Amino acid sequence: MESRNISSLIIYPIKSCAGISLHEARLLSTGLEHDREFMLIDEHGTFISQRKYPRMALIRPKIQGQTMMVEAPDMPPLDIPLTNDDEYKEVTVRIWNDTVQAVLQPHSVNAWFRSFLDDQGLSLVRFAYLAHRYIDREFLGESGAESKFSDQYPLTLVSEASIADLNTRLKETIDHTRFRPNILVSGFAPYEEDLVKILEVGLSGVVLKLIKPVKRCKIVNVDSEKGEIQSDEVLRTVASYRSRTGTSPGILFCMKVLIGSGIGATLKVNDSLTVIE
């Protein structure tokens, strides 16, 4: 049997913008360090995403020490300090049905994003240091599970084999970036992650609980290299064999993950994975 391992770790410092592949990442109670720590909002304080602005896929952040450097086509590099939040204004923002406190970034930063996305109502915010966003209480109760600006759960996971199987059904192959997972795993059969409940990561003490599939939307159709939707083939194809009907319908791909134990540990590419349940 092929060994099961973490094959890639990815964070998305700015929600709905490009990801960063890492060799290792520290695990916080909210997910991987710096994941979905920033978010763009409209003039009403509500989050925006590639659903409305596919060009967000072309915004590429990099973490370098205590600075986040951001690049995009035909724009000068933008440096955003990861310190000194105390001097900025705190605001209330909305992400889906949640409201949470966030720190409004300075005008020079906001002007950069407004220029690139051609919308003068946009602003960048950072998840406030003392804020908490508890997730999915209807499903999880008062579990204490939390996230920053992700779509609910602190982590998402998918297997290389599931992506490979999808590619056999597509005219043009894609990679895992279309689904924006945090953890890509190898050594699993296609969609085997649907059936796994608990994974143990090497000797790190990290236990991951795979809770339920991710409901997909048209963002999976965004070509991350071009920042545009040229076809609905990906979502349409996934829908043809991965749709659920009933009380909670959806098009399902990847798994939502909770942290069972190991907060503060470091996950690394090639860490072994053991299916506990």
pLDDT at 137: 63
The low-confidence residues of the chain, meaning pLDDT below 50, are none
pLDDT at 145: 85
| Domain housing 170 | 5-275
Contact partners, residue 95, CB within 8 Å, separation at least 6: 39, 46, 47, 133, 149
Terminal-to-terminal C-alpha distance of the chain:
18
What's the rounded Cα separation, in Å, for the pair 85 and 136?
A: 28
User: Which residue in 219, 218, 209, 214 sits closest to 244, CA to CA?
Assistant: 214
What's the rounded Cα separation, in Å, for the pair 100 and 105?
A: 16
pLDDT at 1: 61
Q: Provide the number of structural domains found in the chain.
A: 1
The residue type found at 165 is: D
pLDDT at 38: 98
User: Virtual CA dihedral for 277, 162, 212, 4, nearest 10 degrees?
Assistant: 30
pLDDT at 140: 62
- pTM, rounded to two decimals: 0.95
DSSP state of 109: H
